Structure 1
Amino acid sequence: MEAKNQDGYSITIPLLCDEDGVKLGHNEQIAQNHNTGTTSFFKTFFNGLNALSGVGILSVPYALSSGGWLSLIFLFAIAFATFYTGLLIKKCMDVDPNIRSYPDIGERAFGSKGRLIVSIFMNTELYLVATGFLILEGDNLHNILPDMGFEIGGIQIGGKQSFVMIVGLIVLPTVWLNNMNILSYISASGVLASIIILGSILWIGAFDGIGFKEKGTTLNLKGLPTAISLYAFCYCAHPVFPTLYTSMKNKQQFSKVLLLCFVFCTISYTSMAVIGYGMFGSEVQSQITLDLPIEKLSSRVAIYTTLINPISKFALMVTPLVNAAENQFRNYCQKRSFSFLIKTTLVISTIVVALAVPFFGYLMSLVGAFLSVTASILLPCLCYLKIYRIYRSPGFELVVILCIILLGVSTAIIGTYTSLVEIIGHL
């Protein structure tokens, strides 16, 4: 049977209950909800790490060169803020056993309008992140094989564009998978790839003649908005967290998984930023792999491994998009062929956008400033404040959340403006 709780939301109550039926029923459902997942601690860790340690690792040296050494303070601040908001997402999901996705949290907090707003920001962010993967692949493959290209129906397709299309076809089979246990093995390869990339670039700087001679600048105020936006992009996996949380066998361990993922990723991002900036200074490109000497074996290892990384992450990032699309056509998606059609159409559309907007650094800066900050910092805070109503009893927790919101709003406004100006200037 269904009943209304004190906030007016529907909850399901088992028919068999004692004199405290409502409370017992709600707790029983939470317990049941906590046992519906099948993914283990380590598999969830690999999925979470794969979602967090994305292509941002290639852009952090460029971010550091934009903002200067002191901009690393903002990297750590954003890491803490996004870890905290990840915990807030978990708490929001624990309040109601019917919450299974990020849009569900928005609806629980602000009704149908909240669901719509969260869905728009979440899906747009994930879509553009997936598009960024294809742009990254095209850039690096074109760097290795600059003379690549072919002709279809009298239309000449350049090297970078052809590689974007080829990679899109390669990732398509991974999108057809819908099992988080299987995706965890693909995620493990992505985590290993990130470690290899970091190790290879360190080797290039230490033993292949480049060295770490660049001193860099202490602080560059003009480039600080770009730096902060790219740092925010590095931690933009929050729309995936509800999927990871619901897939876990033991959901009480999710906080530990989250902590390990953020610590590991922050160490990786900081190391790559310092190494890359020390090697190339202010001349470092938006993807550090584009600066590497192609003739060196270690460079080729780093570049080839970079090509594996987005392929391993693409399916994980678009899974919430696929779920949202399938929910809209629930009756039709009972047919496997229609589900395949939705997934294939999604991949094809990202290929088209990647061909139309080929500026990786500026696109990721825009995603980080506007979408990532909103989806990963602002929305979790606002939903948590509304659901738990802690603003009615001010305390330390409220102060922390308000500081995080202030950081998010400042980054969103300044970073979005800067990114749009750069994109328009290069069109």
Structure 2
Amino acid sequence: MADIQVDLESMDVEKIGGLGIVTCAVFIVGEIAGSGVLALPAAVEGSGWTGLALMVLCALVSAYTGNILGKAWLIVRKRTPEYQTGHVRYPYPAIGQAAFGVFGRRLVSISIDFTLFGVGVVFLILASMNIGNLLAPYWADANACYIMPIVAFCLLPVALLGTPADFWFVAVGATCATGVACVILVVLIAIDGHHQKEEGFEIVHREVTFTSFSVAFGTICFAFGGHPAFPTFQADMKKQSNFGKAVLLGYFIVLMMYFPVSLAGFTNYGHIKDNVLDTVPAGVAHTIVSILIIAHLMLGFVIVVNPFCQEIEHLCRIPTNFTYKRVISRTAVVVAVLFVAESVPHFGNILALVGGSTTTLLAYILPSLFYMKLCRQKPLSLDDWEPEPEVPLHTKVFNYEIVVVGFIAGIASTYSALESLISDKFTVPCYISPTRALGNT
């Protein structure tokens, strides 16, 4: 257990050896960025110029809700002595329980498990697909179905590490890889677009429909929805009250990665594929970007799966220190992710489905609801805890607007993603026919 120091007035725990503001921001970038770089150009194609504005709006709202989620955790920890010292494995569900009891806790736990598990599946599929594309010229039978087990096996040792504070180097590597990849990708798209214009190629964008816009919204929400893991990062910070600063810095960096790539893709191409790397021309630059994105996806896989593993270990009462029980539980999680990835190796609509449903719930609806409810709560006695100051009217209105818009947009996006999954027909699982399984990806 890490050494801690407690400010008795604010009850703000300072953990010796914990994450700083910059390191926490790097973890946020490492968790969020990656799949968004590949998927957002297609999302903007499906939503038109509005998609670029929606991207900026989602970044701002996500940063705000991430900040108030951090404030909600500080309130819960201040009122609960057992959370003021030591390591907390399940901070987001604990916030849900403090706000709405057992129902709130279970809703958060189920949503987090579905979201992080789904993100892990998407990361594993994308990393394996990109590796397969790189190996295709040298290996005739290169197929993501064969590569996914190898990737999962290679990632397992790192997935066994305890908490984010134990693998800060993973977040740094993921962030640096994506940052460099974005710069190269923007230059590559711009050069290719210039060549196409010289050859008289006319850019024709697809018609924006309700379904395409809703699916795009889900994809954009997914790209900015790192909230399931945020409280876990905050719980590992040296000073948890600084989490809001880390969130703002993290989202600023993510937006600086996402926006130029999406703008370049939309202004230089039409009919962009789900994975933008399948649209840009092959070559040395393409290979470098692919390698960097693969590195991020593999490292990001470890980051997003960790909170899910900690939740499972808490439910199974597995000790926080390293034991054979952790090896068994995390191996089982990685195998389960691998099985789902091999069963449904089509990431586009899965990404939109997760983004429109549980990601929207965890990133845009629950943070505002939990924070407002916690601020309204009154202590049972004077010896219990001090109530929070009255929330200003404009803050209440803004938060309830976020909840209403997120609820309506989330339902529309989830419905459209399900409709697309059904209409596109599910791909054949890898274990039935590896050759046919990825024919539609």
What range describes the TM-score normalised by the shorter chain of this pair?
Answer: 0.7 to 0.9
* Counterpart among 112, 115, 118 of residue 122 in structure 1: 112
- The one-letter amino acid of 1:76's match is V
In structure 2, C-alpha distance between the alignment counterparts of 1:57 and 1:209, rounded to whole Å: 18
* Counterpart among 118, 124, 127 of residue 134 in structure 1: 124
**1:393–1:280 CA distance, 2 compared to 1 (3 A):** closer
Identify the residue that residue 274 of structure 1 maps to in structure 2. Answer: 263
Percent identity reads: 24
Spell out the pairing of 1:193-208 with structure 2 (5 A cutoff). 193-207=177-191
SS of aligned partner of 2:269: helix
Shift of 1:134: 0.9
1:85 matched to 2:65? The reply is: yes
- The one-letter amino acid of 2:419's match is V
**In the comparison of the two structures, how many residue pairs are matched?**
393
In structure 2, C-alpha distance between the alignment counterparts of 1:389 and 1:305, rounded to whole Å: 47
SS of aligned partner of 2:162: coil
In structure 1, C-alpha distance between the alignment counterparts of 2:416 and 2:281, rounded to whole Å: 31
1:189 matched to 2:173? The reply is: yes
Identify the residue that residue 12 of structure 1 maps to in structure 2. Answer: none
**Mean alpha-carbon deviation: is it higher for 413-422 or for 164-173?**
164-173
Shift of 1:28: 2.5
The answer to whether the Cα contact below 8 Å between 1:65 and 1:216 also exists between their aligned partners in 2 is no
Shift of 1:195: 1.4
**1:29–1:124 CA distance, 2 compared to 1 (3 A):** farther
Identify the residue that residue 155 of structure 1 maps to in structure 2. Answer: none
- The one-letter amino acid of 1:267's match is M
1:236 matched to 2:225? The reply is: yes
Identify the residue that residue 357 of structure 2 maps to in structure 1. Answer: 370
Identify the residue that residue 40 of structure 1 maps to in structure 2. Answer: 20
- The one-letter amino acid of 1:288's match is V
**Mean alpha-carbon deviation: is it higher for 298-307 or for 59-68?**
298-307
Spell out the pairing of 1:330-369 with structure 2 (5 A cutoff). 330=317, 336-369=323-356
Identify the residue that residue 112 of structure 1 maps to in structure 2. Answer: 102
In structure 2, C-alpha distance between the alignment counterparts of 1:188 and 1:332, rounded to whole Å: 27
Shift of 1:243: 1.1
Identify the residue that residue 289 of structure 2 maps to in structure 1. Answer: 302
Shift of 1:389: 2.1
The answer to whether the Cα contact below 8 Å between 2:41 and 2:262 also exists between their aligned partners in 1 is yes
**1:338–1:148 CA distance, 2 compared to 1 (3 A):** farther
- The one-letter amino acid of 1:235's match is F
Shift of 1:179: 4.3
Identify the residue that residue 400 of structure 1 maps to in structure 2. Answer: 398
Identify the residue that residue 9 of structure 1 maps to in structure 2. Answer: none
* Counterpart among 118, 128, 134 of residue 144 in structure 1: 134
Structure 2 unaligned spans of 5+: 1-5, 378-388, 427-441
Identify the residue that residue 419 of structure 2 maps to in structure 1. Answer: 421
In structure 2, C-alpha distance between the alignment counterparts of 1:54 and 1:407, rounded to whole Å: 26
In structure 2, C-alpha distance between the alignment counterparts of 1:289 and 1:271, rounded to whole Å: 15
**1:111–1:27 CA distance, 2 compared to 1 (3 A):** farther
Shift of 1:224: 1.1
In structure 2, C-alpha distance between the alignment counterparts of 1:179 and 1:412, rounded to whole Å: 31
* Counterpart among 136, 144, 147 of residue 163 in structure 1: 147
Shift of 1:349: 0.5
Identify the residue that residue 18 of structure 1 maps to in structure 2. Answer: none
The answer to whether the Cα contact below 8 Å between 1:50 and 1:313 also exists between their aligned partners in 2 is yes
The answer to whether the Cα contact below 8 Å between 2:225 and 2:363 also exists between their aligned partners in 1 is yes
**Mean alpha-carbon deviation: is it higher for 101-110 or for 45-54?**
45-54
The answer to whether the Cα contact below 8 Å between 1:236 and 1:376 also exists between their aligned partners in 2 is yes
In structure 2, C-alpha distance between the alignment counterparts of 1:29 and 1:36, rounded to whole Å: 19
In structure 1, C-alpha distance between the alignment counterparts of 2:110 and 2:17, rounded to whole Å: 27
TM-score, normalising length: structure 1: 0.86
1:284 matched to 2:272? The reply is: yes
The answer to whether the Cα contact below 8 Å between 1:52 and 1:235 also exists between their aligned partners in 2 is yes
Shift of 1:292: 2.7
- The one-letter amino acid of 1:285's match is K
Deviations 1:122-150 (Å, cap 9, x if unpaired)? 11100000110011122222223348588
In structure 1, C-alpha distance between the alignment counterparts of 2:105 and 2:10, rounded to whole Å: 21
Shift of 1:392: 8.6
* Counterpart among 336, 355, 368 of residue 381 in structure 1: 368
- The one-letter amino acid of 1:412's match is G
The answer to whether the Cα contact below 8 Å between 2:69 and 2:371 also exists between their aligned partners in 1 is yes
RMSD value, Cα = 2.5
Identify the residue that residue 315 of structure 2 maps to in structure 1. Answer: 328
In structure 1, C-alpha distance between the alignment counterparts of 2:318 and 2:125, rounded to whole Å: 34
The answer to whether the Cα contact below 8 Å between 1:180 and 1:247 also exists between their aligned partners in 2 is yes
**1:261–1:334 CA distance, 2 compared to 1 (3 A):** closer
Shift of 1:388: 1.0
TM-score, normalising length: structure 2: 0.83
SS of aligned partner of 1:33: strand
- The one-letter amino acid of 1:254's match is F
Structure 1 unaligned spans of 5+: 1-25, 151-157
Identify the residue that residue 59 of structure 1 maps to in structure 2. Answer: 39
Deviations 1:56-109 (Å, cap 9, x if unpaired)? 111010000001012222212221221111111111111132454100000000
- The one-letter amino acid of 1:170's match is C
The answer to whether the Cα contact below 8 Å between 1:205 and 1:212 also exists between their aligned partners in 2 is no
- The one-letter amino acid of 1:59's match is A
In structure 2, C-alpha distance between the alignment counterparts of 1:261 and 1:334, rounded to whole Å: 29
- The one-letter amino acid of 2:287's match is R
SS of aligned partner of 1:70: helix
Deviations 1:338-367 (Å, cap 9, x if unpaired)? 111101110011000001111111110101
Identify the residue that residue 431 of structure 2 maps to in structure 1. Answer: none
